[in-house]
Amino acid sequence: MYFGHDKIHLLDASIIDLQNNGFELTKKSFIPKTTKFIPKINSMIRIEAVHLKENLNNFIILDARTPQEFMGGHLPNSKLIPFTEGIGYDGKLFQNKIFLQNLFSQNKISKDDQIVCYCMHGHRASSLFLQLMIAGYRDVKLYDGSFVDWYGRRLSLE
């Protein structure tokens, strides 16, 4: 998404789901066709520390870490929603759309909000980012520098 590819799909299915839907599992080699891809950076889905710091009150800031990490210090005005709450089961990466919509609604996150996701290093926040996208949220940014970047800049914590 960041590099502007417009045909992105997330395969969220267990091997059993794939087999039950006619997909053949094979060890055959696949030789992809060569193609040319010219990135068109989508800077709207990422946010840097300086912009976030200057606009803290304009965003709903979601912390994807554990409650223990959150209690040890977090970005100002952030709300804890551990990424694990939206993780799937039975081989699925994520819970279904309705479950995720309810999760965010119960946490008082509106689809009208401007949202920023962060964690410790960015990888858990990217999971929360995708969960929000699946739930139909569109104004979502990833702070991939996350807590490590924020703390390293000696910015304030709560």
**In a domain? residue 110:** yes
| Average pLDDT score over the chain | 94
Q: State the DSSP code for 65.
A: S
Is residue 147 a contact partner of residue 120, using CB atoms and an 8 Å limit?
yes
Higher local confidence (pLDDT), 28 or 137: 137
**In a domain? residue 106:** yes
The token pair at 75 is 């970005």
Q: What is the pLDDT of residue 109?
A: 98
Residue with tokens 């699946």: 134
Mean pLDDT of 20-41: 90
**In a domain? residue 34:** no
Q: What is the pLDDT of residue 7?
A: 84
- The CA distance from 61 to 52, in Å, is 9
What's the total number of domains in the chain?
1
Residue with tokens 């909000």: 113
Alpha-helical regions (H) of 44-113: 49-54, 67-71, 97-106
**Residue in 7, 141, 115 with CA at minimum distance from that of residue 58:** 115
Neighbours of 8 (CB within 10 A): 8
- The CA distance from 67 to 47, in Å, is 23
Higher local confidence (pLDDT), 106 or 6: 106
**In a domain? residue 25:** no
For residue range 47-106, list pLDDT tens digits in order: 999 999 999 999 999 999 999 999 999 999 999 999 999 998 877 899 999 999 999 999
Asked whether the CA dihedral 12, 16, 17, 21 is positive or negative, the reply is: positive
Q: What is the pLDDT of residue 10?
A: 83
Determine the structural domain holding residue 140 and report its residue range. 42-152
For residue range 93-143, list pLDDT tens digits in order: 999 999 999 999 999 999 999 999 999 999 999 999 999 999 999 999 999
Q: What is the CATH number of the domain that holds 117?
A: 3.40.250.10
**In this model, does residue 45 exceed pLDDT 90?**
yes
**In a domain? residue 17:** no
**In a domain? residue 33:** no
36 burial (CB, 10 Å; 0-12 / 13-18 / 19+) is exposed
Q: What is the pLDDT of residue 47?
A: 98
